Amino acid sequence: MQNNVLILDFGSQYTQLIARRVRELNIFCEIKPYNKVPKDLSSFGAVILSGSPFSVRADDAPHPDLSGIRGKMPLLAVCYGAQYLAHFHGGNVAPSNTREYGRANLSYIKGEEAFFHSISEGSQVWMSHSDTIQKLPENAVVLASTNDVENAAYKIKNENTYGIQFHPEVYHTTDGKTLLENFLVNIAGLKQTWTPDAFVETTVAELKKKIGTDKVILGLSGGVDSTVAAVLLHKAIGKHLHCIFVNNGLLRKNEFEDVLKQYEGMGLNVKGVDASARFLDALAGESDPEKKRKIIGRVFVEVFDDESHLVEDAKWLAQGTIYPDVIESVSATGGPSATIKSHHNVGGLPDFMKLKVVEPLKMLFKDEVRRVGASMAISDDRLGRHPFPGPGLAIRILGDITREKVAILQEVDAIFIDGLRDWGLYDSVWQAGAMLLPVNSVGVMGDERTYEKCVALRAVESTDGMTADWVNLPYEFLQKTSNDIINKVPGVNRVVYDISSKPPATIEWE
Ligand SMILES: Nc1ncnc2c1ncn2[C@@H]1O[C@H](COP(=O)(O)OP(=O)(O)OP(=O)(O)O)[C@@H](O)[C@H]1O
Ligand SMILES: O=c1[nH]c(=O)c2[nH+]cn([C@@H]3O[C@H](COP(=O)(O)O)[C@@H](O)[C@H]3O)c2[nH]1
Ligand SMILES: NC(=O)CC[C@H](N)C(=O)O
Ligand SMILES: [Mg+2]
ipTM of the complex: 0.92
| 8 C-alpha to ligand 3 centroid (Å) | 15
Whether 431 lines ligand 2, by a CB cut-off of 6 Å, is yes
Collect all residues with Cβ–Cβ distance below 8 Å to 72 and sequence separation of at least 6.
none
Ligand number nearest to the C-alpha of 465 = 2
Would you say 238 is a known binding-site residue?
no
Tell me the angle at which helices 403-422 and 475-488 cross, rounded to the nearest 10 degrees: 140
At residue 344, the pLDDT reads 64
pLDDT in tens, 196-231: 999 999 999 999 999 999 999 999 999 999 999 999
Question: What is the pTM (predicted TM-score) of this model?
Answer: 0.85
Query: Which member of 29, 129, 169, 255 is catalytic?
Result: 169
* CA separation for the pair 259, 245 (Å, rounded): 9
Sign of the C-alpha dihedral computed for residues 371, 372, 377 and 382 taken in this order: negative
The pLDDT > 70 percentage for the chain reads 96
| 506 C-alpha to ligand 1 centroid (Å) | 19
User: Is 79 known to be catalytic?
Assistant: yes
At residue 370, the pLDDT reads 94
pLDDT in tens, 369-395: 999 999 999 999 899 999 999 999 999
Amino acid at 38: P
Q: What is the mean pLDDT of residues 493-501?
A: 97
pLDDT in tens, 156-179: 999 999 999 999 998 889 999 999
Is the model's pLDDT at 100 over the cut of 60? yes
Q: What's phi and psi for 127, nearest 5 deg?
A: -105, 150
Q: In what order do the strands lie in the sheet with 92-109?
A: 28-33, 4-9, 44-49, 75-78, 161-164, 153-156, 140-146, 92-109, 124-135
Tell me the angle at which helices 224-237 and 196-211 cross, rounded to the nearest 10 degrees: 60
User: Is 508 known to be catalytic?
Assistant: no
Q: What is the mean pLDDT of residues 336-354?
A: 66
- Closest of 78, 116, 104, 79 to residue 173, by C-alpha: 104
**String of DSSP letters for 297-363:** HHHHHHHHHHHHHHSTTEEEEE----HHHH-----TTSSPPP-----TT-S---TT--PEEE-TTTT
Task: Determine the straight-line distance between the first and last CA of the chain, rounded to whole angstroms.
Answer: 43
Is the model's pLDDT at 136 over the cut of 70? yes
Would you say 222 is a known binding-site residue?
yes
- Closest of 55, 50, 53 to residue 17, by C-alpha: 50
pLDDT bucket at 347, cuts 50 / 70 / 90: low
Would you say 120 is a known binding-site residue?
no
Instruction: Walk me through the domains of the chain, giving residue ranges and CATH numbers.
Output: 4-187 (3.40.50.880), 196-383 (3.40.50.620), 403-497 (3.30.300.10)
What's the chain's average pLDDT? 93
pLDDT bucket at 331, cuts 50 / 70 / 90: low
Q: What's phi and psi for 278, nearest 5 deg?
A: -60, -45
Query: Which member of 87, 129, 167, 234 is catalytic?
Result: 167
At residue 325, the pLDDT reads 77
Q: Beta-carbon neighbour count of residue 86 at 10 Å?
A: 27
Q: Atom 10, ligand 1: which residue's CA is nearest?
A: 221
At residue 455, the pLDDT reads 98
Would you say 227 is a known binding-site residue?
yes
At residue 226, the pLDDT reads 94
Ligand 1 nearest atom to the CA of residue 226, by list position? 22
| 434 C-alpha to ligand 2 centroid (Å) | 14
| 406 C-alpha to ligand 3 centroid (Å) | 48
User: Is 167 known to be catalytic?
Assistant: yes
pLDDT in tens, 4-62: 999 999 999 889 889 999 999 999 999 999 999 999 999 999 999 999 999 999 999 99
Q: What is the mean pLDDT of residues 462-474?
A: 88
